[in-house]
Amino acid sequence: MKKISVVIPCYNEEENVEAIAAEVGRVFREQLGSYDYEIIFIDNDSQDRTRDLLRLLVKSDPKIKAILNAKNFGQFNSPYYGLLQITGDAGILLACDFQDPVELIPEFVKGWEEGYKIVIGRKTKSKENPFVYFLRGIYYKLIKKFSEVDQIEQFTGFGLYDRAFVEVLKELDDPTPFLRGIVAEMGFHRKEIEYTQPERRAGKTSNNWYRLFDAAMLSVTSYTKIGLRMATFIGGFGALISFVIAIVFLVKKLTDWYGFEAGIAPLIILVAILGSLQLLFIGLIGEYILTINQRVMNRPLVVEEERIGCWDDEGPEEEGTPVTARTAKAARRKASGETGPEGEEA
């Protein structure tokens, strides 16, 4: 019997965790009875009753497991890490707030059985704030236009991923993974299922403009060169204009020394324009450097505080052990008897 793992990241979702677990269980019992399944919640250091409810869910249902993070590791690391922990033949990434329709799970499984290693949901409409959805649309189109990798519009990570693709994710060893870009860049042939995104079922979203900006900057710095190219071209163009203006003023002053008064206004305007351009592009280049810095530090994706539920031996040996793609890779080599350089275990 094939097994499917459903990974549900959560943060302050006390109003939704019980309902989403019940709904996923119902879908598997009523529509996917020929499959075994597990539900893996990964909690990103919730400050409400989410963790207490997860403990109750794990006690009441052996198919439910949970990973409790030691702190909040961000909206990208936590879901990605949860996906790496699956024990099934495929993993489904699902939002806890019901904005990813649970009823699409059977369609994902159907596409998987057709031979697709990746089956994703792509929004065509949304019941969220129309202005926010409009801005998202512009953002996706810009990223798609300027990226060297064909990006997926209106894709949030919601979808089914075959175990083979999850193994690829483990090998990446990326401390700042952007799953949406990775699927487009390195994924197998995929099937896309369109859907209308419903409103959040209950509670208040933790996303704000800062988090959205953070997501946008991660995708821009990871998959486009447009920022650096803009800094080069616009900076060069500004320097050229400044040089021409300087020559014009110099010639006029030399040819009519006493009759031509340059004044201070043109100088102030020129300095203000150049200064604003410099500050803008220094900040943009800083975003690229920040992304590079995070990757160079190579910190673990997530540090676990606790695991609850019945876990297989594929997980960390001890609760609270930082697990990265590298340590997961080493564990697999050790289990298979492979050795690293000079005969040492990898």
- Model confidence over 182-205: pLDDT tens digits? 888 776 889 999 999 887 766 565
64-73, 221-230, 296-305: least confident range: 221-230
Contact between 222 and 178 (Cβ < 8 Å): yes
Q: What percent of the chain has pLDDT over 70?
A: 70
Where does residue 35 fall: left (phi above 0), alpha (psi -120 to 50 degrees), or beta otherwise?
beta
Give me the pLDDT at residue 229, please: 66
Residue 229's closest CA among 237, 219, 218? 237
User: Chain-wide mean pLDDT for the chain?
Assistant: 78
pLDDT band at 297 (very low <50, low <70, confident <90, very high): low
More confident residue, 330 or 257: 257
Instruction: For residues 308 and 46, give the distance between their C-alpha atoms in angstroms, rounded to a whole number.
Output: 16
Tell me: domain 3-208+300-342, CATH 3.90.550.10, correct?
yes
d(CA 208, CA 215): 11
Q: Give per-residue pLDDT as tens, 16-55.
A: 999 999 999 999 999 999 999 999 999 999 999 999 999 9
DSSP string, 110-151: HHHHTT-SEEEEEEEEESS-HHHHHHHHHHHHHHHHHBSS-P
pLDDT of residue 344: 40
Residue whose tokens read 């050795």 = 339
